[in-house]
Amino acid sequence: NAGVTQTPKFQVLKTGQSMTLQCAQDMNHNSMYWYRQDPGMGLRLIYYSASEGTTDKGEVPNGYNVSRLNKREFSLRLESAAPSQTSVYFCASTRTVLSGANVLTFGAGSRLTVL
Amino acid sequence: GQQVMQIPQYQHVQEGEDFTTYCNSSTTLSNIQWYKQRPGGHPVFLIQLVKSGEVKKQKRLTFQFGEAKKNSSLHITATQTTDVGTYFCAGTNAGKSTFGDGTTLTVKP
């Protein structure tokens, strides 16, 4: 059972280049999320998808786009990378337990450096 | 918007000492979750608290949810080197979760 799989694990870009981070989950979860984590900071939500066919902005959506390709896959695209987007990116998906709260299962992360 | 503050940011302890991290929300929460992230790893779910005043234990870890459902704490008794990492709380309100900035624990053998 793979859980949440992210690719690539590492990427170095030059300013202005574009790239897509891929995420897939095999747990039949409805909701998927993209977070970024900067040193000494918590996880900040970029975009999320509550269900297949829907996407919504999180706290820090500027400079990113997302696609919920199907129930399993949720991709994050940087159209024109900037040094401020150097970060570790985590994809997560949720299952619902007990009172309906969402417990997040995270992928291993994608470390992106923009020069 | 909802804010979740977590203190301290860093904690260095000698192995065997206790450790506590605190989480405070600007709004009343429907639930709170705790996650652990090992160095170089990804956050892993530890526990969820839902009820006012709830206390849960996992071996040496004790989790509490405040009576007003606006604060929570994680206490580790007699830390071990395997406890190192960053502990995050995540508060949920109106279906949205907000993470604290985490407390990074280092344990000196």
Quote the pLDDT of residue B106.
Answer: 97
* Closest CA in chain B for residue A39: B101
Which residues from chain A sit within 8 angstroms of residue B95, using beta carbons?
102
The mean pLDDT of chain A is: 91
Q: Is the alpha carbon torsion for B61, B45, B47, B24 positive or negative?
A: positive
Cβ A74 vs Cβ A50: under 8 Å = no
Instruction: Select the highest-mean-pLDDT range: A39-53, B65-79, B91-105.
Output: B65-79
Question: Confidence class of residue A55 from pLDDT cuts 50, 70 and 90?
Answer: very high
Which residues from chain A sit within 8 angstroms of residue B33, using beta carbons?
101, 103-104
| CA-based radius of gyration for chain A | 14
| Spatial distance between the Cα atoms of A109 and A69, rounded to a whole number of angstroms | 19
**For residue B89, which of B10, B28, B6, B18 has the smallest C-alpha distance?**
B6
By percentage, how much of chain A surpasses pLDDT 70?
Answer: 94
Asked if A90's CB is within 8 angstroms of B100's CB, the reply is no
Cβ A28 vs Cβ A85: under 8 Å = no
Quick one: average pLDDT of B73-91? 97
Give the angle A26-A104-B31 at the CA atoms, nearest 5°. 145
DSSP class of residue B81? G
| Residue B103, min C-alpha distance to chain A (Å) | 9
Quote the pLDDT of residue A18.
Answer: 97
Quick one: average pLDDT of B35-43? 96
Question: Confidence class of residue B44 from pLDDT cuts 50, 70 and 90?
Answer: very high
| Residue B43, min C-alpha distance to chain A (Å) | 6
Q: How many residues does chain A have?
A: 115
